[in-house]
Each structure stands twice: as structure tokens, then as C-alpha cells.
Structure 1
Amino acid sequence: MIKVFLSHQSADAQTASLIARRLKSLHDIDSYLDVIDSFIDRKGEDLATHIQVEMSKCTQLLAVVSEATKASQWVPWEIGVATEKDYPLATFSAGSSLPPEFLRKWPYLRTEAHLDQYALASKAAERSFVQKRATLNEGVARIRSTQEFFRNLRAGIGQ
């Protein structure tokens, strides 16, 4: 089952909410979105532990980035955790600017049509992971299915 961790800075909460609704209503993909999480008022180590627990319930990460992201300490940290876990990862650029250079390593989405391609690539990667896990160890299966996710998504959005 796919569950997307939607990483975002609080100024981008509305965009993240719209993404969560689109993924659920059109593609039946669940998301974790901290704007509705009562635990989010915690600080520091408690919050970091909470985020790690929530991320462990997810299968991938989509980071909503904008000019406001530059002020966030949590979005880069969450991206780092997802990278370490070999999660399928992409960004959604809220606004007209491209994501920062270091985030262009991963596919970056800019439109609702890109979100739809993201959903298709996510579902294909999940099927691939389940198949690969039958014959490979889980870590290798995750890495290979994530690589397929990147290839499929980039092809789907023309990157």
C-alpha cells in the first residue's frame, strides 16, 4: 500500500493539502500531512522522533517546495531521512520558480498533470517492489523499485 509523506514548510500547507486531496480522490493514494496532526506543536527531539515514526508508516516522500522552504529546517531533514531509506522521492514546486539545484537530482513536479504521472509511477513502483521482494531481500528490492520510479516518473513528465 502506498502512503506519501508530504513534506512542506507551514507557508505551503494549503498546497500540500490540495496535493493530498488530489492523490486520494483521483488515485486512491493516502498521505501523511502534518497540518492535521496535533503532535506537530512539539519541538526538537520529540518532534524529530514523531516525524521518524510517521515517515516509517509511509512508503515515499513528496516535498512541497517554494521560496518559503529556504526558512525550513525540517524539509531538508525529512528529505535526508527519505533518501537514507531509499524512498521514492520527488518535489512539487509551488510557484513559478524551479526547485533549488540540489533538489533537481530528483524529479520535480510543477502541475496537476505531473501529480497524476507521479501517482502512476508510484503505483508501478509499488507493484515492482512487491514482485522484487519475492526473490530479493527487501533492501535490494526497495532500491531497484525506487530506481524504476525515478525512470518512469522522469519519462512521464519529460525530464
Structure 2
Amino acid sequence: MTTPWSRRRDVRRPLASRVAAPREPVDPARIGWRVVRRRAKGMYAAAVARALEGARFDARQDSRHEHLADDTRVRAELAEWERIEQLLADAAPGTVYDPDTDDVVQAELAAEAAAAAAREAELREAARVAARADELQALRELGTLEQTEPREGDEAARDELTRR
């Protein structure tokens, strides 16, 4: 007997719904920077100095263990604490850290947005080429390919058909 909430094991879902979209590779340094910025938001210089000392202590402790000695994230976190400490040292007294006003953070966000836009444009172009290749394939099967007018970008569609 099956219940409404149990899944039947013999029913297979289509492969397309189970396949995850390609993901960006994990960057431990970027994760470390984001963790530090989230923790440092709203901190004064004295609190950042204490956090930097804690990060230095953790780095020294990690250096004693072979599997932690070359941890990219720990080094990135330490470097980010040092950068934030220097940023607040150069700022007016009483300034708190705010990632929204940090030029380095804003430049990284702009670069990430530009890279995402470029990836999106590449995906749109690949979809357009695939659609045109499907159209050319259908015309070839109908026997009317010779009667169609070539379009700009048909070379990429032909390459796609050749690759298939």
C-alpha cells in the first residue's frame, strides 16, 4: 500500500528534471572574504583589531597541522581582516566597517555581475544556435533546405549540426 506522501521507487522521473544546472566552482578564498565581511560589518577599528588577532592565532594553530597548513580560506580570511583593519586605520576615528561603501567589495560585485551577464549572453547565444540547428535539421528532413535563405550565424548552426 502506498501513502500519498511516499514516492514509488519504480516510477522514474525524466532525466531533465533531475539534472542540476551547471554551477560555478567553489572558491574557498571568496567564501573566506564574504565570511569576514559579514562578521566585520558594523565593527569599529578596535573590534576589527581583536578579530584580526584571533585570525592570526587561528592561522598559527592551523600551521601546526599538516592538513590545515595550506588552507586557502584561512589565508584569505586573515588577509581580509588585515585589509579591513588598514581601511579603518586610514578612515576617520569612529568609522565602522560597511561593505556597501567598501570600494574593493563594490568592484568585486561589479566584476561578478559582468561575468554573470557574459555567461548569460553565452547561454542565450548557444540556445539560439541550437534552435537554428534544429530548424535547419527539420528543413533538411523535409527536403527544403536548398530553398531557404541563409541567415547570419548559420555557420555556427552548421558546426552544431556537424558536432551532433
Bin for the TM-score computed over the shorter chain: under 0.3
The structure with the largest alpha-carbon Rg is 2
TM-score, L = length of structure 1: 0.27
Structure having the larger proportion of residues in helix: 2
Structure having the larger proportion of residues in strand: 1
TM-score, L = length of structure 2: 0.26
